[in-house]
């Protein structure tokens, strides 16, 4: 798909929506994406998300972790895949 086709598809989707919240989100995303200032992804997280990351890091440092193999096996057992 060419750049022009992608732009047209996006324009059509934007044109169809009347949800101001969605339009504001699209506008904010495009403004950030086109800004020349590079922003660290961590700075874009909410305080709640940052706190969750910090809790997870502290748990990891204390050894409160599970091997990925165990997590995947448990998930497969639950969802039988």
What tens digit of pLDDT does each residue of 35-52 get? 766 778 888 899 999 999
CA distance 20 to 28: 12
Asked whether the predicted pLDDT for residue 67 surpasses 80, the reply is yes
Q: What's the whole-model pTM score?
A: 0.42
Among 29, 9, 33, smallest CA distance to 21 is for 29
Do 50 and 56 form a contact (C-beta atoms < 8 A)? no
Q: What does pLDDT average to over the chain?
A: 90
Asked whether the predicted pLDDT for residue 57 surpasses 90, the reply is yes
Q: Which pLDDT score is estimated for 39?
A: 73
In the chain, % of residues over pLDDT 70: 96
What is the average per-residue pLDDT within 62-80? 91
């Amino acid at each position: 798909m060419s750049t022009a086709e992608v732009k047209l598809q996006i324009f059509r989707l934007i044109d169809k929506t009347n949800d101001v919240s969605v339009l504001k989100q699209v506008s904010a995303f495009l403004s950030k994406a086109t800004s020349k200032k590079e922003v660290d992804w961590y700075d874009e997280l909410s305080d709640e998300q940052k706190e969750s990351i910090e809790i997870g890091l502290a748990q990891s440092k204390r050894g409160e972790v599970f091997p990925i193999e165990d997590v995947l096996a448990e998930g497969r057992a639950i969802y039988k895949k």
